[in-house]
Amino acid sequence: MDVAGAGSHGPVVRPFSFRQFTERWKEGYMGRLDGKVAIITGAASGQGAAEAKLFAAEGAKVVVADLNAEGAAAVAATIGETALPFSLDVAEGASWSALVEKTLATFGKIDILINNAGVYRPLSFQETDAALMDFHFRVNVLGVFLGMKAVEGAMLANGGGAIVNTASGAGARGYPGMFAYAGSKWAVRGMSKCAAIDLASSNIRVNVLLPGLIDTPMLGSNDPDYLAQISKWPPAQRLGTVQEIAEAALYLASDAASYTMGADLAICGGLMA
């Protein structure tokens, strides 16, 4: 990353663009995922799209998976022949089975799974009903579980792998008005830690990302005045970028994190400090 002049809250980080990553990779500076095959869910936009582009620039073959088939195809098109778009419903086991089958037929193996897909409908406990709970848990919890189960066999056959599950800062502390969402993200953390222990002997590493307030389409659906207000919450005094989340996911997915298992990595501008 490029670092601009420091202000009252420290240096301002300017992440590389996908073009810059590609150029540096071609020049031999990159390649942290050379020879790897990665599945990334929720990759049609936001954090998932940034992860797909960065992973490809780092040498990986990438499956761009999303319920939004058109968006997934568009992201894959920007990457090129090393990307495979796939229309995935994370809450359906048959959809995951088809994804794994297609990935193996196309790329021959699976090294990395980034469970990034998620939904966010913030309401308080008083406003939450069973339908809202089910909505969050089907995507944010069941989807993560099904993804891990779906790739386990392929990773075992490959001698191991890396799974990165996206939780949230709301999965590490309480927040007002996020009852169902926060509950689902706490569940992701719990499942991930148990899976990390159970799969460690198989050389399958499971870790968790805890994004804070990140400038994504999901967050952008909120009122602009609200966004301006919450951007001041972190000590960094700004929202995070999708590129910064992608860099964190890259570390956990790469061999640089070979002894990192069951960890929570917070990318929050100090919000959880």
- Closest listed residue to residue 101, CA positions, set 117, 86, 81, 79: 86
DSSP result, 51-66? HHHHHHHTT-EEEEEE
Residue 143 token pair = 């989807």
User: Which position among 175, 181, 251, 259 bears the catalytic label?
Assistant: 181
For residue 172, the 8-state DSSP code is T
Q: Which residues pair with 7 in a beta bridge?
A: 10
Please report, as a single letter, which amino acid is at residue 89: D
Q: Which residue from 201, 214, 124, 130 is spatially nearest to 169, judged by alpha carbons?
A: 214
251 catalytic per annotation: no
Alpha carbons 232 and 45: distance in angstroms, whole number: 24
**Separation between Cα atoms, residue 22 and residue 18, nearest integer Å:** 6
Q: Would you name the residues annotated as active-site residues?
A: 181
